[in-house]
Amino acid sequence: MVEVIKTDDQKKFDVVFIVGSPRSGTTLLGNILDLAPQISCWIEPYFIMDHHFRHSSNDCRGAAAASDEVKEYILNAFDYYRSKCGCRIVVDKSPRNSLKIPFLREVFPDARFIHILRDGRDATLSINTKWHREFDKSEGYYHQKLKVFKMYLTRQPLFAHKIASLLFEVGSFTDVLRGGSFLQKLRWNGRIGLGPRFEGWEYIFDTASTLEFNALQWVKCVEEIIKEKQNVEESKFLEIRYEDFLKQTRKTLTRIFDFLETPFPEDFIYRLPVIENTNYGKWKKAFSDMEKNQIGPILNPLLLQLGYVDSDSWYKMC
């Protein structure tokens, strides 16, 4: 169990959610912000956000799900993290949060959101690559379990959260008896999957190709963020493009720090990891003509809306 504490200033710290589809640069941005004074990035604390929703059929969540019990649990957990890390701003980097913005706003009414948007073709390519890498069929079932356990042990900086995340992954004794103890298996109803589960994912998972499903993960996450953006105060929502971040890192970071109302340290740019500023457009050489035709009808309407393309020629000429 995560230690639950209550303090008088429990809500006197800022919470920022980095949202976006998987493989859109959310981890890169989170890791960079974590280097700044007074900011700590909590990488995907699903074991906190989903504590009361372990058996949910998908990752979508509305405001009504934020009961008093749920709010108290999450607020106390975030305050515990903040107090132990000694930061003023807690950043939660979790692609699944893209599908639960109303819920997050109900728990954290003053939360800010940073949407990092990436060309859906590159994002789909990266999601698909990660699926194949994570689910190496040459690895045994128990070896994959050990990889997950190791990931949780190294990802969480606080000992209490290392234990809590592992327990959440394994499940209760009742879950074990029901045969649904391993969360990855439980989340996907025995299938092998990764990332956000949108409404109706099961049918598409079973009838479409993995590449098409990955394209829909990008579409569903981005569409949901765009829809919910209208309900968030303008001062609490910032959208940046992954491509701009790579090409104009200092300028983009200045916008982010201004948005967070936090000073941009003079030497901060020199603390950053190496950023591959040409890491875009790789889909052009990676996808075959057949693959472009598969994902084109899925991605193109939103690509057009966002200005990434001005026609459907990138896949219809194939």
Residue 8: CB atoms within 10 Å: 6
pTM of the model: 0.90
Q: What is the pLDDT of residues 51-102, one digit of tens each?
A: 999 889 999 999 999 999 999 999 999 999 999 999 999 999 999 999 999 9
Q: What is the pLDDT of residues 8-42, one digit of tens each?
A: 444 456 999 999 999 999 999 999 999 998 999 99
Q: What is the pLDDT of residue 275?
A: 87
More confident residue, 271 or 180: 271
Q: What is the pLDDT of residue 172?
A: 61
Rounded mean pLDDT of the chain? Answer: 88
Q: What is the pLDDT of residues 234-265, one digit of tens each?
A: 999 999 999 999 999 999 999 999 999 999 98
Q: What is the pLDDT of residue 283?
A: 97
Q: What is the pLDDT of residue 151?
A: 67
> What fold is seen in the domain 14-316?
Rossmann fold (3.40.50)
More confident residue, 318 or 243: 243
Q: What is the pLDDT of residue 177?
A: 52
**Residue 19's closest CA among 104, 140, 129, 134?**
104
